Amino acid sequence: MIWDLIVIGGGPAGYSAAQRAAQAGLQTLLIEKYKIGGVCLNEGCIPSKTLLYSAKLLDSAKHSEKYGVTIEKASLNHAVVIQRKNKVVKTLVMGIQSKLRASGVSVIEGLAEILGKDPQGFGVRVQNDTYIGKQLLIATGSSPVLPPIPGLPEGIEKGLVVTNREILNLTTIPDSLVIIGGGVIGLEMASYFNSAGSRVTILEMLDHIAGETDPEIAGFLMKRYQKKGVDFKLGAQVIGIQDQQVIYKQNGETPSLTAEKVLISVGRRPVTEGFGLNNLGVAMEKGRILTDEKCRTNIPGVFAAGDVDGLSMLAHTAYREAEVVVGNILGKSDIMKYTVIPTVIYTNPEVASVGATEAMAGQKGIDYEVAKISMRYSGRFLAENEGEDGICKILINKKNQQLIGVHLLGNYASEIIYGAGLMLETEIKLADLKKIIFPHPTVSEIIREALFEF
Ligand code: FAD
Ligand code: NAI
């Protein structure tokens, strides 16, 4: 049999593309070497958010007194948290498996190896069987970057150093946790383990945390976590791991930290090796598969979607790219836009952004104006966040009066940001944005409030 589409990788990009393709009537084969659901469901988005919700509940319980609620003793049972996380993951994975079955996708477990192209199509081997597809989607995702730090491989072998995979399955809370990398994973894991009782230190190479996040919001977030007891070492370069010691260079000195566990979270790289990509001659750039706006590679009939194209390593980007791939296979003209992709850091408080920061707008030479207000302008925020503050910052393009960026710090930000994305996507002008009616009282009203600052 010749398949219409062979999908390699069963993460968000692969399973959603396979499902959409089969629903549209394409004979679709999905090959997954490890776990259906990929990183997102098994060792990324979902498990981390499940843990973080328990931490949030604990934090609320610990501070319930200021809301007039007395809780004698709040504590966290990590074993139960992990059990519940496993249950959530299992439920979602089973849901995806049944959707794939219902859509008519054939799923094979095993490592896919691309053999090349012949007149019939693309040959893909799994163990001893070869499958032929008219079209091929590469959705092999990403894996953690492991920099060449002396002692790191030995640390991993001994179980001292962990990645996102192992940290989400720790059976006990370490007394001390050193996190290398103050990006999204580092901050989210710092949030959980700080609430759970670990002494957490973040070693970040740059002079700020949270990557490209608005610097004021990143600074505010750092201060909040310092207050909670997280120690941040900025401009810190790890130069070695020995026994339980993490040695780093900072301001010309080489101090060290003792750690029961070390999390390495310094970024992720696309998975492009070990499965025969070179047999097709797929064009690459800096370790990622090069794609165009239709998610096509340089080889006709070969597409790539999700983390493997390295453009935006987020599950929601992967879902959209998968739709673009299937749309184009079906002959529809659908293109990927990367300018309006929301990002969220699920700390407590949450950070959410969409569109340009001031730095990005400046780099693009956009003449912009900023409105910045405190979250305390929102009645709902005030009612639910005793003694807390947050930020809402919005940017408009002065020339065309369109919104170009929204940056939020404060809880519910993750649930609000898609609305801001819609405002950017639809290019509505400021005067019309002001006419949108928001439900009251909600934290989302903060955006309306900020719009009226212009
Ligand atoms: P993956 O999910 O990596 O799936 C790729 C799949 O391909 C894997 O299952 C792999 O086993 C399989 N595979 C690879 N090679 C082969 C082969 N040769 N043969 C067969 N199978 C193969 N994103 C968000 O949007 N929100 C979040 O809150 C969020 N939280 C995260 C938290 C953590 C700790 C991490 C690590 C990531 C998080 N992400 C989050 C990112 C998100 O997980 C990824 O963007 C998403 O999983 C990418 O989907 P994908 O399908 O491209 O790849
Ligand atoms: P990241 O790119 O977010 O952060 C890595 C951090 O490590 C950066 O601040 C970088 O400066 C720092 N760094 C790099 N090398 C270093 C070194 N040698 N020593 C010290 N610091 C160093 O990467 P992270 O946190 O690993 O996450 C990977 C990706 O996973 C994210 O970029 C994101 O795409 C995805 N993700 C998304 C989440 C979400 O949407 N909420 C949650 C977690 C992950």
Instruction: Please state, in angstroms and rounded to a whole number, the distance separating the CA atoms of residues 127 and 168.
Output: 30
Task: Give the mean model confidence (pLDDT) for residues 299-303.
Answer: 98
Instruction: Please state, in angstroms and rounded to a whole number, the distance separating the CA atoms of residues 70 and 83.
Output: 28
pLDDT at 341: 98
Residues lining ligand 2, CB < 6 A? 147, 180-186, 188, 203-206, 211, 237-238, 265-268, 313-314, 344-346
pLDDT at 195: 98
For a ligand 1 pocket test, name from 45, 326, 417 the mutation site with the most ligand atoms within 8 angstroms of its C-beta.
Answer: 45
**Summary mean pLDDT of the chain:** 97
Q: For residue 200, name the pLDDT band (cuts at 50, 70, 90).
A: very high
Q: For residue 47, name the pLDDT band (cuts at 50, 70, 90).
A: very high
The torsion of the CA quartet 383, 384, 386, 390, rounded to 10 degrees, works out to: -100
Question: What's the pLDDT tens digit per position in 162-187?
Answer: 999 999 999 999 999 999 999 999 99
Question: What's the pLDDT tens digit per position in 75-90?
Answer: 999 999 999 999 999 9
Partners of 143 in beta bridges: 269
pLDDT at 394: 98
314 lines ligand 1 (CB under 6 A): yes
Specify whether 440 is catalytic. Answer: yes
The domains located in the chain, with CATH, are 2-143+269-329 (3.50.50.60), 152-266 (3.50.50.60), 349-451 (3.30.390.30)
pLDDT at 43: 97
Which own/partner contact pairs does 356-362 have at CB distance under 8 Å and 24+ positions apart?
356/395, 356/404, 356/405, 357/212, 357/213, 357/214, 357/395, 357/405, 357/407, 358/214, 358/395, 358/405, 359/212, 359/215, 360/212, 360/405, 361/395, 361/397, 361/404, 361/405
Question: What's the pLDDT tens digit per position in 353-412?
Answer: 999 999 999 999 999 999 999 999 999 999 999 999 999 999 999 999 999 999 999 999
Distance (Å) from CA 74 to ligand 1 centroid: 34
Question: What's the pLDDT tens digit per position in 248-281?
Answer: 999 999 999 999 999 999 999 999 999 999 999 9
Distance (Å) from CA 31 to ligand 1 centroid: 14
Instruction: Please state, in angstroms and rounded to a whole number, the distance separating the CA atoms of residues 413 and 165.
Output: 26
- CB burial of residue 425 (10 Å; 0-12, 13-18, 19+): middle
Distance (Å) from CA 451 to ligand 1 centroid: 36
pLDDT at 319: 98
Q: How far is CA 35 from CA 10, 43, 313, 408, in A?
A: 7, 10, 19, 34
Q: For residue 151, name the pLDDT band (cuts at 50, 70, 90).
A: very high
